Amino acid sequence: MNATKNFLEPAKRTIYVQGTPLAYSEAGDGPAVLLLHGLGGTCADWSGVLARLAGRHRTVAVDLPGYGSSGPIPDSSPAGIAHFMWSVADTLGLQQPALMGHSEGGGVAVEMAFAQPSRVRRLVLVCSSGMGRAIHPAFVVVATTPVGNFIPYLAKLPGGPEILVLLLAFGNSPRPWRIPLSWAMKTRQSASSTGVLAAALSTVRQSVSVRGQECLVLDRLAELHMPALVVWGRQDVMVPACQARRAAALLRHGQLALIPLAGHLLPIEAPDDLLAVAAPFLAADPLQDTDSSATHRGATQ
């Protein structure tokens, strides 16, 4: 499979969109794929995916607003970020990109698809937010109690950023030893920033309540007509894999892939497994979609 054999070194750049700096990495040529990372992450979360997809696609991974080297925007809700990301797409000349979003980035990708469905060539949702109320209880505590107020201060404590990295790795992956050291170092850098932690806390408090996830999109998934692939780690304890089955069933042209021995950090801990299902989907001929959606609905690895 060419997409997983060709490695192209991404170029890192910064553009200004509506006066806000937006950092991104890009490699390759061909049909565009826009990669959207999860809560507290950066475009580096896609490092195991981007270079290999670039063998067949113009692949762009962004630092979402408020994360990495990108500046914040006033509206950090999934819909607000989605609106901003279409301006980013216009600036980069991405006319009809495929969207691939992980966790919070999946919620943004769905909102982008709702806002401009005719522009979304394909949609890949990886352990996406917004697919059901269930979420790890720790997020409910952070969102609804004063405990969350202390998270930004961890950046200033000796060993605080390292503790956050360990919690993310061991709490979100059944095999944390597969997580690259480069990700741990990059995440430690993010966890050392009070601004990044404050942005993550703000997002959590907008999207989680005592009931669980609040920015739900299940009742609107049937509006989406583009081919869509829902990919989940079977051992995801952050947002359970049962949400993937329901989302894939509600999508008009939905396909499902569950990755064994993988958790919420799927693009980071198991990029090869993710690419094994996502790369053929992104490269497929549109004429194959009618047959493949019926064949692959509910398919697992």
98, β-bridge pairs: 33
What pLDDT does 7 receive? 53
Which pLDDT band holds residue 196 (cuts at 50, 70, 90)? confident
Cα angle 109-115-119, degrees, rounded to a multiple of 5: 75
Contacts of 101 (CB under 8 A, 6+ apart): 35, 36, 107, 108, 109, 110, 124, 125, 126, 128
Percent of the chain with pLDDT over 90: 73
Residue 272 identity (one-letter amino acid): D
Dist. CA 280–CA 296, nearest whole Å: 12
Q: Can you count the helices (H) and strands (E) in the chain?
A: 12, 10
Question: Can you list the alpha helix ranges (DSSP code H) found in 98-172?
Answer: 104-115, 137-144, 160-172
Q: Has residue 297 got a pLDDT over 60? A: no
The per-residue pLDDT of the chain, averaged, comes to: 90
Output DSSP code: residue 236. Answer: -
What pLDDT does 166 receive? 92
pTM score, whole prediction: 0.90
What pLDDT does 301 receive? 55
Percent of the chain with pLDDT over 70: 91
Sign of torsion over alpha carbons 249, 251, 255, 261? negative
Q: What residue ranges define each of the domains in the chain, with the CATH number in brackets? A: 2-296 (3.40.50.1820)
User: For residue range 80-134, what is the model confidence (pLDDT) as tens digits?
Assistant: 999 999 999 999 999 999 999 999 999 999 999 999 999 999 999 999 999 999 9
138-160 mean pLDDT: 90
User: For residue range 37-58, what is the model confidence (pLDDT) as tens digits?
Assistant: 999 899 999 999 998 999 999 9
3-state helix, strand, coil split of the chain in percent (to 5) is: 50, 15, 35
Assigned token pair, 295: 């064949």
Residue 163 identity (one-letter amino acid): I
